[in-house]
Amino acid sequence: MSLIPYWVPNLHPLLIHFPLTLLLVATLVDALGAWRPAHASVRDTATWLYCGGAILAIVAYFSGLDAAQAMRVSTDGRAAVDAHFTWADRTTWFFVAFASFRMAMSYIWFCTTRWVAVVSVTVALAGVVMLTITADNGGRLVFRHGLGVASVPTSGQHWTIPGRSGDETPAR
C-alpha cells in the first residue's frame, strides 16, 4: 500500500506548500514583532515558525531531488529543473541558517531591541524574495513544461459551469 494517492506522481507537490506557508507566516509574524519588539512571545512564535518552515523546506528539498531523478525531462525542461534546483538549494539552506540564527537570537542572546528586529525582518524579506523565485521556477516546471501533470484523455465532451450555456465567453 502506497502512502501517496495514485494520481500524485511523487511527494514533492504535496509537501512543498507547507514550508512556503510557514515561512511566509513567520515573516509576517516577525514583522509584527518588529513593530512591537517588547513582546517576546511574538518573537518566539516567529522563531518557531522559521524553524518549522526550515525543517519542512529540507524535507521538500529532498523530495524534489527524488522527484527530479525519477522524471523524464526534455532538454528545455532540464534547464528549468536546474534553475529550480539552484534556487531551491539557496533558499532551503538560507532558511536553515536563518532559523538557526533566530534560535540563537531568541534563546541565547535574548535580543529584543527594535533595530535587531528590523534587521531580522529585512533578512527574512530577502529570504522571501528567494522563496518567490524558487516557487516561480517550480511553477514554470508544472505549467510551462508539464512536469508532474498527467494528460487528461479527451472524450469529446467539454465541461461547462452549471447554469451557463457553453457558447458564452467568460469576461476577462
Instruction: For residue 120, give every residue at least 6 positions away whose Cβ sits within 8 Å of its Cβ, in sequence order, or none.
Output: 30, 34, 102, 105
Domain around 69: 12-143
Supply the pLDDT for residue 105.
86
At residue 80, the pLDDT reads 93
Can you give the pLDDT at residue 77? 87
Tens-place pLDDT, residues 104-135: 988 887 776 788 889 999 999 999 999 999 99
Q: What pLDDT is stored for residue 159 in this prediction? A: 57
Q: What pLDDT score was predicted for residue 91?
A: 98
Does 38 map to a domain? yes
Which parts of the chain sit beneath pLDDT 70? 1, 37, 112, 150-172
Residue at 172 is within a domain: no
> How many domains in the chain?
1
**Per-residue confidence (pLDDT) for residue 160, from 0 to 100:** 60
Whether residue 131 lies inside any domain: the answer is: yes
- Say if 52 falls within a structural domain: yes
The rounded distance, in Å, linking the Cα atoms of 121 and 172 is 37
pLDDT of residue 7: 78
